[in-house]
Amino acid sequence: MLQIYNSLTRKKETFQPLVPGKISMYVCGMTVYDYCHLGHGRVFVAFDVIARYLRAKGYDINYIRNITDIDDKIIRRAQENNEDWQLLVDRFVGAMDEDFAALGIQKPSLEPKATEYIDQIIAMVETLINNGMAYPADNGDVYYVVEKFDSYGRLSGKVLDELRSGARVDVGEAKRNPLDFALWKAAKPGEPAWDSPWGKGRPGWHIECSAMSTCCLGNTFDIHGGGPDLKFPHHENEIAQSEAATGEKYANTWMHAGPLRLNDEKMSKSLGNFFTIRDILAKHPAELVRFYLLASHYRSPMNYTETSIDEAFSGLERLYTALRGLDLSPEVVTSQFTERFNQVMDDDFNTPEALAVMYDLAREVNRMRKVNQLEQATVLAGELKQLGDVLGILQQEPETFFKGGGEQAVDAEQIEQLIACRNQARAEKNWAEADRVRDELQAMGVVLEDSREGTTWKLDR
């Protein structure tokens, strides 16, 4: 029985989709004005695994992940770069696609952009004005009336009285109450703009997701997810807008990934510890980074250090070692290991425990090898690879992994020739020559492993 922690109720709940066998899921995607950082990678790897596992359980999942392609940050960055805003957006959408593909993040069912839903956004704003939950200001802005939504704050735990004490009206805003937020923003000279009943302007950030999610999934859908910083005000405002506009419950289950820190500090450009995904991928293989992100539960805070990613490599290497040298069975196999894997994944997608099950399975593969039960070892190794596929790992050929996975420039043919020379020297009992070749290989970062079956090699990290 699948249990999911619901951020709205603050407890695990048995998951029951609105339509049996089908799941509707919306995850807030990127605002594309810069490269994705590792925290973004953490969030979208987590929801990629969730989508993969739900499909593996047999659900037909409609997974929507939006792109915010118009926003204050986008306009500001384009102005700073003296660059057309649409060209900026296209450039960073392309970079996002490259980064996500490298991390094994599969494309969602649909990836709507805010600018493709301007008509639907305007229609939702008009509905909110007509039912008294929003008002047009004299300057062309339109604001949502927070105090009219009785359950405002239930997701984030915020209390209106406390919010009032810290609220203020920024210069240029025409809101009646400091708590009110913009649904539509009047365009400033030179900014991208669309026609509306209130004059030329563009949507506020929060209304974009309300319009896109309800248009793509309906007024009520199963799961809404996102990063830890979106719970307030973004998701809180989405609930207020959507439920006031439709009169129906917005999302049944809310899921939020945990924060990622770097060396025990919040990621910050000013602190010099702000790493993009491509910064990390320039130093480490993509599969290793993904594996590292899976080693913590998606809701848990996570601290990135170079030491921790080195430890993750040891774990990934253990799994690939179990697969090495076996002709993996293409047939679908399940055993008590798959049952255990599903049990822990059914417990709010517990990937650390799922990896623990896979380590146990790898240990059993190795035990079968030692007692020369290679047929059983091969079947279990096939099962290990199948479970890896659910998590988006272990899909390389083991030898490709051990020999750098294309991440490092090595001459495999030269290495094989040197190993052949060493083996010849050993056969002739020319130990000095064998040691010399071994030292040459070590200087190239090659680790040799001698066994009864022969000599294999891998690259040292």
Residues at the annotated binding site for ATP? 269
147: closest CA among 132, 157, 137?
A: 132
**How far, in Å, CA of 74 to CA of 31, rounded?**
8
3-state SS string for 228-283: HHHHHHHHHHHHHHHHHHHCCCCEEEEEECCCEEECCEECCCCCCCCCEHHHHHCC
* CA distances in angstroms from 47 to 105, 112, 279, listed in the order given: 9, 17, 22
Question: Degrees (nearest 5) of the Cα angle 22, 12, 355?
Answer: 80
- Residue given tokens 């999942």 in the structure block: 61
Contact 48, 290 (CB under 8 A): no
Longest dimension (CA), the chain: 93
**What does the block give as tokens for 304?**
């990135």
- Residues forming the annotated binding site? 28, 209, 234, 238, 269
DSSP three-state, residue 349: coil
> Which residues, other chains included, contact 68 with Cβ-Cβ below 8 Å and sequence gap of 6+?
29, 30, 31, 32, 74, 113, 114, 205, 208
| CA atoms in the 13 A half-sphere facing the CB of 403 | 15
Q: Read off the DSSP letter of residue 70.
A: S
Annotated binding site for Zn(2+): 28, 209, 234, 238
